[in-house]
Structure 1
Amino acid sequence: MRSKDGQQRRFSAGDIASFGQRDIPAGEKAGMVRGVFTSVARNYDLMNDLMSAGVHRLWKDRMIAALRPRPGMSVLDVAGGTGDIAFRILDRTHHRANVFVCDITEDMLRVGRDRSIDRGLVDGLAWVCGDAQSLPVASRSVDAFTIAFGLRNVTHIEKALGEAYRVLRPGGRFLCLEFSQVVLPALSELYDVYSYAVLPRLGQLVARDRESYQYLVESIRRFPPQEDLAGLMRDAGFGQVGYTNYSGGIAALHSGWRL
């Protein structure tokens, strides 16, 4: 990148972030991610069903089963704008938990609020627009932190993990459901073909937005594999870190505790 005086500018590692296959100035990523999800918000849930043949629902159900939410629990669900995780938590606790949904994209939150009204869910649910790297949440204030298919979109994963650790009470649990590295060679090849050849085209046909779904496919490939993410969680302070692969590693659920 060149500065205004025409000189070549070099970025340090902290100045660079990935956006799909590209490296960009870190300060630009949040706005670009917000633009992607503003574009796809209205079709986001439909596209998830089409892209995964509905399997994302099973992964999310397993995430909630692992969380084992209980009545009275306070949960911060980050990057959960359309409400999929929040609604499952409330259903599991018979609407007796407190769930705070935080998302960087206001349009995603609008979709979630509309869905909650349609479901008659008002009590125990709050919607907040905020960045995972600087959460508008008090330290040591929640019992659990969940994030599903959102961590790969933050600018600096280490900062988001640090924030997750900060807001959890001692004994609180962190759960991250995210696309990951396929561990079966034959499945990996098929998944690559499907991802790059089919998903962007599906985005064009259904959401009229090929570029956003091209980014989403590419962002999966730039996300740290399972063991690397587990290491980042330990570096952030989490204990008893582990993960479970779903569908041969297409997705993985990472878990850690603030001890």
Structure 2
Amino acid sequence: MKLPYINCGKYMQAKLPLKSKTLQALSSIDPVVRGHSQAVIQLKELAIIMKHLVPTESDPSMEILRYNVDPNLANYEEGDDIVKWWAHVISLGKYPALTQVIRGALSIFHGPLVESSFSLMGDVIDKKSANMRISTFNAVQTVKYTLRSRRRTGITMFKREDVKLGPVDKTVCRNIRAAGKKDKSFREKRIEERKKRQAEYGCRASCGSAERAKTTAQAEERQARLRRGKAEECS
């Protein structure tokens, strides 16, 4: 009965990134290892990895040494909530530079949050938007989280009593124009890069099925917009 577990353990040791310096450094934030010399080494390594979070005039090295031997910190038992424990340490204000590093480490997705992030992506990235840029996906998720935190929908948030003559949200208009300009600039840059590659390799853009498919998609999109406009007028 032990053989499957042994084989599974060997497989995980071979496949998991256990030798990753980042993962090894992150393991040092576990309060269980506090007091060990290796915890000091790995915490210092973590501070180097996340040095962009620490003010340039601060040196977390001395704070790490004091934290490792501090007898006044609360006891931590296996299975306790590590976030709550560190929240208590942060509230003490004894280790300002170190706690900046810890804040950054704890903000990394871990546990069920990683799996849930893929589920959230499934709501946005489908077969029709598989080539969505990361910046676009990030913007969509930011809007979703904002609406969810306020417990509102896009319609209720920007609803106007008089659709035609009511005041328009100027911030939304500015954001739309800025996003449009940014997207246009990105597309023009991609076209220029494609032309340079074509000139470099002596080829020309194809105007066959891909162009026809693009034209058809644009026509279908225009028709869909017209249908939505008529439906709104009728309602």
TM superposition score category, shorter chain reference: under 0.3
**Which is greater in Rg?**
2
Q: TM-score, normalised by structure 1?
A: 0.21
Q: TM-score, normalised by structure 2?
A: 0.23
If each structure's helix is expressed as a fraction of its own residues, which one has the higher value?
Answer: 2
